[in-house]
Amino acid sequence: MRLDRSAIEAAVRTAYTDHRNDSGGKNAGYIPYLASVNPDLFGVCAMTADGALFEAGDTGFEFALESISKVFSMAWAMEKVGLETFQEKVGADPTGEPFNSVISVALHGDTPVSPLVNAGAMSTVSLIPGDTAEDKWEAILQVQSAFAGRKISLSDEVNDSEQSTNFHNRAIAWLLYSGGTMYSDPMEACDVYTRQCSTLVTARDLAAMGASIANRGINPLTGDRVVSAANIPAMLAEMTMEGMYTASGDWAYRVGLPGKSGVGGGILAIMPGKLAIAGFAPPLDEVGNSVKAQRAVAQVAAALGLSIYKASEYSD
Ligand SMILES: NC(=O)CC[C@H](N)C(=O)O
């Protein structure tokens, strides 16, 4: 399968114009900062595995990375503790429950089940080596920056907004601690997890982060290896199972690309070896996925005939 550059450019542009005026959804309301972001912002990007960027709309606007950060912390934790240990300590199955579900944790003996829900992401953070919270945080910030190919920073405004309202996540962190699946101080893990959600990225950054995954762990913009190629399949598998929360199965049927969304309005989808598609629009559906970004990313994938489940149709 060869991806024609003019076809990618047209697909991105058309997805943007087709969905620019779509309505529906609501900004995340439980984090005050996110509720205040302009709901009309909308951007669509694609970046090929060799670093060519295609973009339309508000692709330079910085928004909160939120849950998409879970993918990159997962990458780093696997790198540090090894894939098998990571899978054994955090889990690798879909939960079938909302991303912040206490029920899922309770049903599974106070264990997280997946690294891409809040519970698993906090457990993941607790596995990241570092003597202090600052050490872990620095490592995570560096990993996000390496995937993006530029220095990613914390937004104090987003972080303050989240830290002063993250009581639900704190409760989950203590449940995991009682279940033996929190491998550091639970409040420290919750604090660092909250910070990793509060960094700012653009849709362009998101596309570059995804292109680094599509390019088997090498950032195409910097040429740096950001994760072992051997850990990429687990990341993609996890994104397929849990990346779009309780809509992951529907997304797999309809779109066929490993994806990850965040309540900041970002969505990332990966065609392994080929390209990443990124979208951003703040209003979310009930599940927590951006309404417009979902449609736009799905449309780009369909226009280019991309799906990991169609591999038998590709001639090269
Ligand atoms: N799904 C998300 O993007 C959730 C991230 C958010 N920081 C939370 O912990 O609830």
Q: How far is the CA of 18 from the centre of ligand 1 (A)?
A: 28
Residue ending a domain, among 136, 162, 197, is 197
CB of 67 shorter than 6 A to ligand 1: yes
Which pLDDT does position 281 carry in this prediction? 98
Q: Which ipTM was obtained for this model?
A: 0.96
In a domain, 311, yes or no: no
- The answer as to whether 314 is a domain residue is no
Residue 105's domain spans which residues? 67-197
115 & 224 share domain = no
Q: Ligand 1 test: best mutation among 34, 37, 99, 193, most atoms within 8 Å of CB?
A: 99
Same-domain check for residues 157 and 238: no
Q: Which residue's CA lies nearest to atom 6 of ligand 1?
A: 66
Q: What is the 3-state secondary structure (H, E, C) of the chain?
A: CCCCHHHHHHHHHHHHHHHCCCCCCECCCCCHHHHCCCCCCCEEEEEECCCCEEEEECCCCCEECHHHHHHHHHHHHHHHHCHHHHHHHHCCCCCCCCCCCHHHHHHCCCCCCCCCCHHHHHHHHHHCCCCCHHHHHHHHHHHHHHHHCCCCCECHHHHHHHHCCCHHHHHHHHHHHHHCCCCCCHHHHHHHHHHHHCEEECHHHHHHHHHHHHCCCECCCCCCECCCHHHHHHHHHHHHHHCCHHHHHHHHHHCCCCEEECCCCEEEEEECCCEEEEEECCCECCCCCEHHHHHHHHHHHHHCCCCHHHHHHCCC
Question: Could you tell me the pTM of the whole model?
Answer: 0.97
- CATH code, 215: 3.40.710.10
Q: How far is the CA of 198 from the centre of ligand 1 (A)?
A: 9
Both 50 and 77 in a single domain?
no
For residue 197, give the ligand 1 atom closest to its CA.
Answer: 7
Confidence at residue 313, expressed as pLDDT on a 0 to 100 scale: 73
| Pocket lining: 99 vs ligand 1, CB cutoff 6 Å | yes
Atom number in ligand 1 closest to CA 263: 3
Indicate whether 47 and 80 sit together in one domain.
no
- Cα distance between residue 60 and residue 280, in whole Å: 10
Shared domain check, 162 and 72:
yes
Q: Is residue 231 domain-shared with residue 192, that is, in the same domain?
A: no
Res 1: pLDDT? 64
Confidence (pLDDT) at 315? 61
Q: Could you tell me if the CB of 278 is within 6 A of ligand 1?
A: no
Q: Pocket of ligand 1, candidates 71, 100, 104, 268: which has the most ligand atoms within 8 Å of its Cβ, to mutate? A: 100
Calpha distance 166→133 (Å, rounded): 17
- Number of domains making up the chain: 2
Q: Is residue 245 part of a domain?
A: yes
pLDDT along the chain (316 residues), means of 10: 89 98 96 96 98 98 98 98 97 94 95 97 97 96 98 97 96 97 97 98 98 98 98 98 97 97 98 97 97 98 94 67
